[in-house]
Amino acid sequence: MKEQLQGMLWECANLTFQHDLGNVVQALRGTSAAFEATQVPRKVVKLERQIGQGQSGEVWLGELTAAPSWGKEPGTPVAVKLSKAQEGDAQVHILLEARMMHLLPHPFLIRMLAMVTVDFPVLLCMEYMEGGDLKTFLRACRPTLEHPRMVVTGDDFVRMAGQVAGALAFLEERRIVHRDVAARNVLVNKDASIVKLGDMGMARNVYKKEQYLQTSSTRMPLAWMAPESLLDSVFAYKTDVWSFGVLMWEITSYARTPFGALGAQEIVAEVNAGRYLAQPAACNEWTWALIQRCWQVRPVARPSFTALQSELVARAQQEPHQLPQAEAGDTVA
C-alpha cells in the first residue's frame, strides 16, 4: 500500500513539469475513482468573500450548496482556492496540490473536499478553519493589546507546535517536503484547540532522490529557509525542520516577522554568518533549546519530526507551564 502511495505521489511530482492543463486534468482523473468523485459542478460552489491571497491564486470563503457524490452535507462552509484565470501554470499547480492533499489525509493537515476542473478558473475546495491563519491569530492575542483575542499560555504554544510537528512527521514518513512551513500557512479552528498545516502548493515528493533541487525562479520565503536551501536551492526533510524552528519562534513571539525589516540579501548574509533569530521574551528555556536544535548548521544534527512530535507531546502532558513576562517590544511586527 505504501509503495502504491509513493508511486502516485511520484506521478504528481513528474506532472509538475507539464504545463498543458488538459493533459494534467486527464492524467489526474485517471489516477483513482476516489479522486474523480471529488469533482463537482461549478454551480454548487458559492463564493462569498475573499479571505486570502497566495502565489497561485486567491482564497475565498465559500459554501457547497449541494452534496458531492461522496456525501458532504449541503451548506458546508469551505475555503476555495481559485487559480488565476487563463494562467495555465497556476491552474496546474492547484490541481497537483489538490491531488497531493487527497493522497495525504491527516488530522492536522487541511483536507481537500472538492474540485471544479471544467473551464476556468480551477477551484480547490478545502475545509474551512474559522479561527483564520495562525499568524493573524497570534498577533490578535498579544498580551500588550488592550483587548487580546484570547489568553495564550505556554501549554498552548507547546500544543500548537506539537500538532504541526505531527503533520510534518506524517509527511516525512511519506517522503514529502513541505517547503513552506510558517505561521501564515497554519490554520486555527474556532476555539483555537486545533491547528492544521495547509498550503501544499510548494510541497514536493523526494521518494527517489531524497532531496528536491529547485531550478525555477519561484519567489521563496527566505527568512524561513535553512542555510543549504539559501546557498544551493536544495530542500529535504531537515530543511523543513529548520523552518519548523522558525515557526516555533513565530509562535513564541506572537508572530513577529523573522528578521524584521531586513531585505533578502541581508537575511541571507545573517544566516550564512550564523546570526539567527534572538530568543523571544515569552519563549521559555526548554522551548528555546528545542528551537536551537532545529537550527543546527549540519542537517544531520537536526532532530526528525517524529522525535520533535514525541518531545512536544510529552511536554504537553506535564504540569502547566507559565509564560515568561512578555515585553512590549516583543510584539512589534
User: Which residues face 112 on adjacent strands?
Assistant: 126
242-296: pLDDT as tens digits: 999 999 999 999 999 999 999 999 999 999 999 999 999 999 999 999 999 999 9
Catalytic residue among 180, 199, 240, 330: 180
Helix or strand or coil: residue 22? helix
Q: What is the pLDDT of residue 50?
A: 95
Local confidence band at 30 (pLDDT 50, 70, 90 cut-offs): low
- Using CA atoms, how far apart are residues 19 and 311, in angstroms rounded to an integer? 42
CA distances for 219 relative to 6, 179, 214, 216, 272, angstroms: 27, 12, 11, 9, 19
Enter the pTM of the model: 0.86
137-182: pLDDT as tens digits: 999 999 999 999 999 999 999 999 999 999 999 999 999 999 999 9
- Using CA atoms, how far apart are residues 290 and 252, in angstroms rounded to an integer? 12
Active-site residue, 191 included = no
Place of cell 506535564: 318
Give the number of other CB atoms < 10 A from CB of residue 84.
18
Residue type, 317: Q
Q: What is the pLDDT of residue 15?
A: 47
Q: Is the distance from CB of 115 to CB of 44 less than 8 angstroms? A: no
Which domains are assigned to the chain?
2-127 (3.30.200.20), 132-317 (1.10.510.10)
- The answer, yes or no, to whether residue 21 has pLDDT greater than 90, is no
C-alpha cell at position 150: 484570547
Pairing state between β 76-83 and 204-205: unpaired
Which one is predicted more confidently, 331 or 19?
A: 19
As a whole number, the mean pLDDT across the chain is 84
Of 120, 129, 109, 124, nearest to 59 by C-alpha is 124
- The answer, yes or no, to whether residue 312 has pLDDT greater than 90, is yes
Q: Is the distance from CB of 12 to CB of 100 less than 8 angstroms? A: yes
Local confidence band at 202 (pLDDT 50, 70, 90 cut-offs): confident
Task: Please state the φ and ψ torsions of residue 77, each to the nearest 5 degrees.
Answer: -70, 140
Helix or strand or coil: residue 251? helix
Say which DSSP state 42 is in: G
